Amino acid sequence: MARKYHVEGTKSFLIWAVVLAAVAIWAVMDGWFPSEGTLTEHPLASSSSFYLFNKSLALLSAVGAAICGYIHTVVK
């Protein structure tokens, strides 16, 4: 006798995908295309680790958003 399970979907992966995508967009704008205020506060020559961190954060959060979006699509 086969059992039928009704598993409810969750939107937590969708929420995390949206949050991580927003962080990725912010980090791309701040790391690759900084505003004038950011450039005066963190000049390119003196704080390259600041921009390297933002670029790394952008890549990692974009990958995380893609993975969470994929999981939401498959599990849904």
Task: Assign 71 to helix, strand or coil.
Answer: helix
How far is it, in rounded angstroms, from Cα 70 to Cα 30? 26
Q: Cα–Cα distance between 39 and 35 in angstroms, integer?
A: 6
Per-residue pLDDT at 43: 78
Determine the pLDDT at residue 47. Answer: 63
Of these ranges, 25-29, 37-41, 61-65, the one predicted with the greatest mean pLDDT is 61-65
In the prediction, which pLDDT does 22 show? 97
Instruction: Name 27's Cβ contacts closer than 8 Å, sequence gap at least 6.
Output: 54, 55, 57, 58, 61
